[in-house]
Every structure is written in structure tokens, then in C-alpha cells.
Amino acid sequence: MDKPLYGKTAIVTGASSGIGYATAIRLAKAGSAVVLQARREEKLQDLASKIKAMGGKALVAAGDATNPSNSDALLDKTLQWTEAGSKVDIVVVNAGRGLAGGVLTSDESAWREVFELNVLGAGHLMRIAASKMVAQKGGDIVVLGSNVGRNISPFSGFYGSSKFAVGALAEALRREVCPHGVRVSLVMPGIVLSEFQKTAGYNEENFGKGVAQFGKLLEPDDIAAGIVWLLSLPGHVNVNEIMIRPTGQNYP
């Protein structure tokens, strides 16, 4: 099998479920060693065993993405682990959560956590990863935004605002670091079936009925395939942003 990312080392946050889990497997199949982060260590250990059984390399570094010192430790652990000598080639800033409802109807007690994870936690990891990549003169940062981070929806208005913010951070960072050979890509999925819906508080009433006419929704692996595709392009090509929706999703 073709291994376009052979010899690279990648961090994937939110690797215990959904898009992060699928991306870690795709990266490993493409030849990259992967460092797995999320809070649920057991799920990461299971994933690491699966990757190793496929002949890949995986390291578990469980932690909370809202805690900057956990993210610092994640990067340090990765740099100590790399056989190629203290470098990190790819960081997939994926850990995130949704929140059902608009400004009036969402659970305000979750607002702080949404921004701490989706914006501040993501921003800190982007900052430390980019700082290292500028010093090593290259690397890839892939940030998970959302289609509601470009087209706001009243059904997930507060969550969508956090994805507008992280999308702006991604483009701001890209402009800062592109002269140093560092690529930044914003990946904006449409509706992907994962643990996301349950965590966000979606149910048949506020989600199922609304998406019924969209046909087949996305699987996490559909997004993972897009991420590995853009990472596999020649170094002078940076897909700055990409939106991937189910074909039948006409809104948002």
C-alpha cells in the first residue's frame, strides 16, 4: 500500500472517538506514527493496540485539551518519542464538542466549556505546535472547524460561534507561519454521525427530524480521508480550507 506520510509523526487530539479516531487510523495506514490524545485513556489504549496490530506506531498521551499544561506535556512527550529526533510533522487539532440550540435555547452552563475546548484549548495547541514547526521550518496543522462555523445556524448558534472563532484563528495563524514553510488547513465538516450528537444534546426532536431528508450522512472516515488527502499533497500546496458535507445536506 502507498504510504505518502511514511516517516512522519502526527498528534491527533480527540482520538478516542469519531473523526479523531478515524483520522488516527488513516494516518497510521499512510505511514505516520501517531500520538493519541483525549481524556478516556482506555479507548486510546485500545486504538493504539489496533494500530500496532496493523503494523503502525502509536503512543498514548491522555489529557484534557482545555488544560494548557496537558497540551504542553503532549507536545513534549511527542518530541521525546520521535525516532527522527525531536520533531512533530502533523498536528490535528480535533478535540471539540457541540451544543444543541441557539442563543436563547442552548444550555448556558455549557457555554464556557464549549469555548474553553473549541477555541482556547485549540488555540493553545495551535500556538505551541506552530512555534515548534516554525523552528523546524515545516509542518502541518489541521484544525477542525465546521460548516456552522461558516454559515451560522440558529439550531447550533452558540456552538457555531466557537467554530467561527477557531476558523478565524486558523487563518490568522496560517498568515503568520506560511513564510516558514508551515501549512495550516481548516477542515469544515457537515453532519457526521459520531458521539458528537449525544454530547451536544441532539435528539430525534431537535436533530433527527431536521436531517431526515438529507439522505446518507457522513461517517467519521469520510472526513479522515479528506484530511489524509490534503496532508499528502506536495509541500508547496496548502489546501487552506475544505468543507465536506453529505451530498444531500442543503442547510446549513
Ligand X SMILES: NC(=O)c1ccc[n+]([C@@H]2O[C@H](COP(=O)([O-])OP(=O)(O)OC[C@H]3O[C@@H](n4cnc5c(N)ncnc54)[C@H](OP(=O)(O)O)[C@@H]3O)[C@@H](O)[C@H]2O)c1
Footprint of ligand X (CB under 6 A): 13-20, 38-40, 64-66, 94-98, 117, 144, 146, 189, 191-192, 194-196, 199, 220
- Cβ proximity to ligand X: between 136 and 195 the closer is 195
Give the nearer residue to ligand X in terms of CB position, either 9 or 16.
16
Q: Which value, in Å, is the radius of gyration of the alpha carbons in the chain?
A: 17
What is the spatial distance between Cα 196 and Cα 98, in angstroms, rounded to a whole number?
6
Determine contact, residues 173/125, Cβ cutoff 8 Å: no
- Least distance CB 60 / ligand X (angstroms): 12
Least gap, CB of 155 to ligand X (angstroms): 12
CA distance 192 to 143: 16
Instruction: Show which residues are catalytic.
Output: 159
- The nearest distance, CB 84 to ligand X, in angstroms, is 26
Least distance (Å) between residue 151 CB and ligand X: 12
Residue 68 to residue 132: CA distance in whole angstroms: 16
Between 176 and 195, whose beta carbon lies closer to ligand X?
195
Those residues whose C-beta lies under 8 Å from the C-beta of residue 45, and which sit 6 or more positions away, are: 60
Q: For residues 16 and 78, which CB has a smaller minimum distance to ligand X in the complex?
A: 16
Helices 18-29 and 41-53 sit at what angle, rounded to 10 degrees?
A: 20
> For residue 3, how many other CB atoms are within 10 A of its CB?
13
101 or 189: CB nearest ligand X: 189
C-alpha cell belonging to residue 167? 476558523
CB of 135 to ligand X, least distance (A): 25
